[in-house]
Amino acid sequence: MVKVRSLRPYEGQKLEALLHSGKDAIAVRRAEVALRSDQGEDLKSIAKDLYFSYEYVRQIVHRFNEEGLASLKAHYDNGGRPKSLEPEHESELVELALTPPRLIGQPFTHWSLQTLMEVAIKRKLIPKVSLETVRQALLNHRLTLQKTKTWKQSKDPLFELKKSASNGSTKRAKKAGSESSASTSSGR
């Protein structure tokens, strides 16, 4: 049966203090696992009560037995500098940015950073990165994407013809003051 090793007095005090006034939620939950295991509770019931998997509770106990209180802190793998694009990914992105979206079957006329990033990721040209990483990659090649003004473009193939043709059914409004139906002169 896996169980937390015998706690040293200062470890028990630290776990109790952390449990009652801890600010790091991960450390608090791990401390609770260690204390409950020390009190003799089996790992399956701890896992069930805390909505953890049994394997995760075993991992917490094993880590506590090896590392002590240091094991309670969260171990994040995603810290540090954000990902940047490899040169080959960057060149693929630039090539896509210079291609009109309509040419590759997209329903818009200009790229926005968001749509460029989404299409590049969907086509597996670049890995998942932040919008800022995409913007910086484009800036490295002196490319900027401006905010697009929203307007609709008709899908009607005869749109250009219809747009420039005059419609005779609409009468033009008369300019104010050009003709008047009532005479204002008194005849004197």
For the chain, give every domain's residue range: 9-72, 87-140
Matching residue, tokens 């020390």: 38
Matching residue, tokens 């043709």: 165
pTM value is 0.42
- The stretches in the chain having pLDDT less than 70 are 75-83, 146-153, 166-188
Q: 95: which residues sit within 8 A by CB, 6+ positions away? A: none
How many Cα atoms are found within 13 Å in the side-chain-facing hemisphere of 118?
Answer: 7
Measure the CA–CA gap between 68 and 8, rounded to whole angstroms.
10
- Separate counts of helices (H) and strands (E) for the chain: 8, 0
Task: Report yes or no: 26 and 74 within 8 Å, Cβ to Cβ.
Answer: yes
pLDDT at 87: 86
Sign (positive/negative) of CA torsion 116, 118, 124, 130?
positive
pLDDT at 108: 84
DSSP 137-166: HHHHTT---PPPPP------TTHHHHHHS-
Measure the CA–CA gap between 12 and 7, rounded to whole angstroms.
6
Measure the CA–CA gap between 106 and 32, rounded to whole angstroms.
53
Structure tokens belonging to residue 33? 């696992």
Report the SS3 class of residue 62. helix
Nearest 10 degrees: CA dihedral of 148, 121, 119, 82? 10
pLDDT at 171: 64
Find how far residue 7's CA is from the centre of its chain.
43
